[in-house]
Amino acid sequence: MSTSRPKEKRRYKMPSPSAALTDRVIMEHIDEGSRVLDLGCGDGLLLSELRRIKSAEILGVEMSRRAMIQCMTAGVPVIQADLDLGLEDFPSQSFDFAVLSQTLQQVRHPHVILEEMLRVANRALVVVPNFGHWRVRWNQLLWGRAPVSSSERYQWYNTPNLHLMSMPDFRDLVDVVEGRIVKELAIIRGRAVEQAWAANVRADSAVYILERKSADAHAPLP
């Protein structure tokens, strides 16, 4: 009596070799007992770890039905939503942290989602690939090839990445959305480095902790 299953929608969060590392970095920067929203939460692994280790109150947002069912199997609460359509059903400041890992470059309007994160949460934790990496520059300069992120194995025609930004580009965007960078961590050869030398040349990706510019001063980060 029921219809055939609708086609699987595309996933935002693609498996990335640096995911385990960035998940660990995210984990380190989330306070015990926080309320955390993970946008593009995939199978909910990060969230269930946050619940287990940090006693976090968690909620995921995901578009893929298959991934949502994985969340349900793990007891991770999850809302089906298209990040391109914003977070209008999410009340303002209802979370301590909003996480967006390796997803910003894949949404249609990065500035909108960033603004929304700073609206619904006190802090935004964002992981972005760095297309300012020397290998990207090298390929562009020497061979005239389209930029492909060094940490993800995609070609220009099959990449889910719609927007290619470097670290300074991202910093500019944070300004545009009235945000403030609380912390910047460059992911260089499998390590998260604070205040790295020539980060924009060396980093595969970067982790940012953001706040609203107008937000009251927070307790110092661990």
Residues 76-115 that bind other proteins (CB under 8 A): 77-80, 89-91, 94
- In angstroms, the CA 106 to CA 84 distance is 9
Interaction with other proteins in 37-76: which residues (CB under 8 A)?
57, 59, 65, 68-69, 71-75
Give the gyration radius of the chain's Cα atoms: 17
Smallest distance from other proteins to CB 56, Å: 12
- Taking CA atoms, 143 is separated from 136, 138, 139, 140, 202, in Å, by 10, 8, 5, 6, 20
What are the tokens at 141?
């300069």
Closer to other proteins by CB, 59 or 107: give it: 59
2 binds other proteins (CB under 8 A): yes
Q: At its nearest, how many Å lie between other proteins and the CB of residue 89?
A: 4
Per CB under 8 A, 5 contacts other proteins: yes
Tokens of 52: 């287990």
| Residue 3 found at the interface with other proteins (CB under 8 A) | yes
Piece of the chain touching other proteins by CB under 8 A; list 3-11, 105-113, 200-208, 212-220: 3-11
In whole angstroms, give the CA distance from residue 13 to residue 160.
9
Q: How far is the CB of 193 from other proteins (least distance, A)?
A: 35
Our CB check for other proteins shows the closer of 92 and 140 to be 92
Can you say whether the dihedral through the CA atoms of 49, 95, 222, 12 is positive or negative?
A: positive
Closer to other proteins at the Cβ: 65 or 183?
65
CA-nearest of 11, 183, 211, 214 to 98 is 211
140 binds other proteins (CB under 8 A): no
H helical segments located in 121-191: 134-143, 167-176
Size of the site for other proteins (CB under 8 A): 24
Q: Which residue has the tokens 């309007």?
A: 109
Residues making contact with other proteins (CB under 8 A) = 1-3, 5-6, 35, 57, 59, 65, 68-69, 71-75, 77-80, 89-91, 94
